[in-house]
Amino acid sequence: MNIQKNIPLKDKNWFQTGGPAKLFFEPTNGEEFAQALDYARTNTEPIFVLGQGANILISDDGFDGLVIRPALKNITAQENGDSVLITAGSGVTMSDLIEWCLDHNILGLEEFSGIPGTIGGSVYINLHYFQFLLEHFLISAHVIEKSTGTILLVDRAWFNFGYDYSTLFEHNHFLVDATFQLRKVTDLEVAFARGRRTEIIRHRTARYPATHTCGSFFRNFHPHEVTLESNGKKMIYTAYYLDKIGVKGTLAVGDAIVSHQHANMLVNRGAATSTDIVQLVQLMQKKVREQFNIVPQPECELVGFKEWPLL
C-alpha cells in the first residue's frame, strides 16, 4: 500500500481550511480498503473516511490518524425491462453518476443535481433535496466492516435511514458501493431531464453559495427541542431563527462570514481558518440562545478536533 504521510487536507474539503492528515490513502478496490483498515487496526490509528469534503470542518491541527479517501469509481448497469440497476463505487461523485446516467438514457438521480459529494458521502447522510431522499432509490449496497475488513451485502433497511442519518453514522462500517433502481427512458425524456438539471443547478446557485462552504452548517431542530409554532406546526427550521437574529451577510470572524444568500450557510472568503469558522458558529449559537433559549447543533461534521469546540 502506498500510504502517504503528512498530506494537506485544506485542498480536499469545500471550506478550504484545516491542517494535514498524519496518514493518507486512496483505495481503488475493496481489497485495498480492507488492507487500509487492517493497517489502522494494527497501528492503532484513528480512521476518517473522506469523500469530497462537502459537509465537514477539519481542525486546523489536521487529523492525527489515517484518512482514507476511496477511489472506487466503477459504474455498472443491469437492465430489467424499463427498470435498470446502477451500481456505483463509493468514490464516484454524484455529479459524475448523474451525467453517466443521462448519457445512458437513465433517469432518477438528476433531482440531486448541483449537490456536491461522492456516493459514499451521499449515502452516509441520506442526501436530500426537497421531498427527494436518496433512500428512495437505493436498494442494496456493499459495506466494509471496520473491525474485520469483511465486505457485506446489505439492503436498504440495514441503513435505517432518517433525515441526515444512516447506520453509517455509527462508524462501524464504510460504504464500498451502492446500487440504485432507476428508469430507462427515451431520448426525448433525457433531453427534458437535462433541461431540468440545468434549472435545478441555476436555482441552487441563486439560493446558496456554491464554493468555500459546507452547505447548511446547522441541522434543523427536532420538534421536541422547540416551542415556537406556525400554523399549528413546530418551527423546526434553524434558518428561521438565524434570519430573526439578523446575521445574514453581516456576522463575521476574520474571513469567515455568514452567507448573504442563506443564514444557515457560512463562507470562507479566502483566508479563513477553521478556528475562525468555529468562533463564528459559537457567536451564532449564543445569539440564538439569548433570543430563543435554544442552541442550534451542527449538521456539518467536525473532524480532528481534540475537544468539542461548540456549545
Domains of the chain, earliest start first: 8-68 (3.30.43.10), 75-207 (3.30.465.10), 223-303 (3.90.78.10)
Give the phi and the psi of residue 118 in degrees, each rounded to 5.
-90, 170
Beta bridge partners of 25: 68
pLDDT digits (tens, 9 = 90+) for 263-309: 999 999 999 999 999 999 999 999 999 999 999 999 999 999 999 99
How does strand 301-303 pair with strand 56-58?
parallel
Per-residue pLDDT tens, the chain, 311 aa: give them: 899 999 999 999 999 999 999 999 999 999 999 999 999 999 999 999 999 999 999 999 999 999 999 999 999 999 987 799 999 999 999 999 999 999 999 999 999 999 999 999 999 999 998 899 999 999 999 999 999 999 999 999 999 999 899 999 999 999 999 999 999 999 999 999 999 999 999 999 999 999 999 999 999 999 999 999 999 999 999 999 999 999 999 999 999 999 999 999 999 999 999 999 999 999 999 999 999 999 999 999 999 999 999 99
CA dihedral 253, 203, 126, 179 (to 10 degrees): -140
Is the Cβ–Cβ distance between 300 and 55 less than 8 Å? yes
Is the Cβ–Cβ distance between 269 and 257 less than 8 Å? yes
